Amino acid sequence: MTDTTTSGSRIDLTATEREANLDLEQLKQLVGLVDYDESTDPFPVTGWDAIVFVVGNATQTAHYYQSAWGMELVAYSGPENGVRDHKAYVLKSGSIRFVVKGAVTPDSPLIAHHAKHGDGVVDISLEVPDVDVCIEQARRAGATVVQDPENLTDEHGTVRVAAIATYGETRHSLVQRVVDGVTYDGPYLPGYQPASSTFVKRDGAPKRLFQALDHIVGNVELGRMDEWVTFYNRVMGFVNMAEFIGDDIATDYSALMSKVVANGNHRVKFPLNEPAIAKKKSQIDEYLEFYGGPGAQHLALATNDILRTVDELRKEGVEFLDTPDAYYEDPEMRARIGEVRVPIEELQKRKILVDRDEDGYLLQIFTRPLGDRPTVFFEIIERHGSLGFGKGNFKALFESIEREQDKRGNL
Ligand SMILES: [Fe+2]
């Protein structure tokens, strides 16, 4: 086991990170992992466990994540192993798991959820060392416990799980993978059977296109951002990171407010957005309208080679937001950015954005919405010291989103 010690605190790799052959130095660069002292944390969180999506067609979505996003199918659950109402496919890339679920029977509870929200994230599931400690703290702090702690067991061992509610109809399942000193060794959770991809990658395709999950942005109701920041502070002991407000990220038409909270080791980072008053409908308002309430807006996937990742994704037909050439040709922007690892022209060719702060820089690009509704999308991020979220790019990004919003007649 690799670990590192800084100022009396230490952090270990998770089992999935070890399995993905990641090391701590890499993770510090990829997602800004920091050392911290878990012993004083009222709600210790190790990291992400899985991101659970409900979609209209899980069978095809699972294929898309394999064929376009280079993910590996690792587990499955459905009618073939006793789950009557839905199918669930578990996909991995590096240390992150996606679970995509789709209804099989007309009376599946997933139908109503999908009818209301469309394709989206239902559960941002977190790995914790002790579910009961977390649930006790959650109750003390007034959170809504939607699933009491229980053990799930199969031939691979036992996992202890519970869940709390967060914004909208989103929940945080809490998953404890070591119970009574024994680590669960199944492919995901009890009830899932091992599965593997039948999809064959193209010759020369990289092993994976992203290594880890960096952050998930939540869009919440107008005027409720601070309430949700306080929820993460008070219930889960999350710390505040950066802060963007008002004018920082306003364009002529759109504006939003955003604050960022993170767990102690910074594996889990949640920027929270609320719409701000502007001349026309904010992109956050558009999301809230089409998702039918608050929910997860984008997932940022960390890579150590964004140029290659973007090239491969484009080959598979993934569409990204456009960035005008003016962005790259602006002398003020060039002066602010300074030297990055590749010539600006390489970024311009691919429409990759760049931002710099006192700690370093980051490269990032955003996809178009993944499903039919203008709701959830992905960001690809490559960090070089910067622990920010691309504040300097928000304006350029918003203007780009607005051009698309306008095409949809929603501006
Ligand atoms: Fe982001």
Tens digits of residue pLDDT in 1-52:
334 434 445 688 998 999 999 999 999 999 999 988 888 899 999 999 999 9
Distance, CA 403 to ligand 1 centroid (Å)?
Answer: 19
Asked if 121 and 296 count as a contact pair (C-beta separation under 8 A), the reply is yes
Residue 63: half-sphere exposure toward Cβ, Cα within 13 Å: 4
Query: Cα-Cα-Cα-Cα dihedral of 379, 385, 390, 391, to 10°?
Result: 160
| Residue 396 or residue 219, greater confidence | 219
Residue 325 has phi, psi (to 5 degrees) of -55, -30
* Token representation of residue 57: 């067609």
Mean pLDDT along residues 356-365: 93
Distance, CA 299 to ligand 1 centroid (Å)?
Answer: 7
Distance, CA 216 to ligand 1 centroid (Å)?
Answer: 7
Q: What is the pLDDT of residue 245?
A: 59
Q: What is the pLDDT of residue 288?
A: 96
CA end-to-end span of the chain, whole Å? 52
pLDDT in tens, 47-81: 999 999 999 999 999 999 999 999 999 999 999 99
Residue 61: half-sphere exposure toward Cβ, Cα within 13 Å: 23
Mean pLDDT along residues 116-140: 98
Instruction: Please state, in angstroms and rounded to a whole number, the distance separating the CA atoms of residues 104 and 56.
Output: 10
* pLDDT value at 248 more than 60: no
**From its phi and psi, is residue 113 left (phi > 0), alpha (psi between -120 and 50) or beta?**
alpha
Residue 208 has phi, psi (to 5 degrees) of -155, 155
> Within 10 A of 244 (CB to CB), how many other CB atoms are there?
18
Q: What is the pLDDT of residue 111?
A: 97
Distance, CA 379 to ligand 1 centroid (Å)?
Answer: 6
Distance, CA 263 to ligand 1 centroid (Å)?
Answer: 16
Least confident of 34-43, 250-259, 318-327: 250-259
pLDDT in tens, 168-200: 999 999 999 999 999 999 999 999 999 999 899
Distance, CA 183 to ligand 1 centroid (Å)?
Answer: 33
Mean pLDDT along residues 72-92: 97
| Residue 72 or residue 327, greater confidence | 72
| Confidence category of residue 249, pLDDT binned at 50, 70, 90 | low
Distance, CA 367 to ligand 1 centroid (Å)?
Answer: 11
Distance, CA 198 to ligand 1 centroid (Å)?
Answer: 32
- Comparing CA positions, the residue from 49, 157, 68 lying closest to residue 368 is 68
Distance, CA 269 to ligand 1 centroid (Å)?
Answer: 10
Give 385's contacts (C-beta < 8 A, 6+ positions apart): 29, 359, 360, 361
Average pLDDT, the chain: 91
What's the pTM value of the predicted model, to 2 decimals? 0.93
* pLDDT value at 368 more than 90: yes
Mean pLDDT along residues 122-141: 98
Distance, CA 254 to ligand 1 centroid (Å)?
Answer: 17
| Confidence category of residue 328, pLDDT binned at 50, 70, 90 | confident
Distance, CA 23 to ligand 1 centroid (Å)?
Answer: 23
Distance, CA 407 to ligand 1 centroid (Å)?
Answer: 23
Mean pLDDT along residues 271-276: 90
Distance, CA 120 to ligand 1 centroid (Å)?
Answer: 17
Percentage of residues in the chain with pLDDT exceeding 90? 74
Instruction: Please state, in angstroms and rounded to a whole number, the distance separating the CA atoms of residues 95 and 123.
Output: 17
Distance, CA 246 to ligand 1 centroid (Å)?
Answer: 17
Mean pLDDT along residues 89-105: 98
Distance, CA 68 to ligand 1 centroid (Å)?
Answer: 21
Q: What is the pLDDT of residue 204?
A: 86
Q: What is the pLDDT of residue 3?
A: 41
Q: What is the pLDDT of residue 247?
A: 57
Distance, CA 317 to ligand 1 centroid (Å)?
Answer: 22
Distance, CA 389 to ligand 1 centroid (Å)?
Answer: 6
> 89 in helix, strand or coil?
strand
Helices and strands, number each (H, E), in the chain = 12, 21
Instruction: Please state, in angstroms and rounded to a whole number, the distance separating the CA atoms of residues 154 and 150.
Output: 13
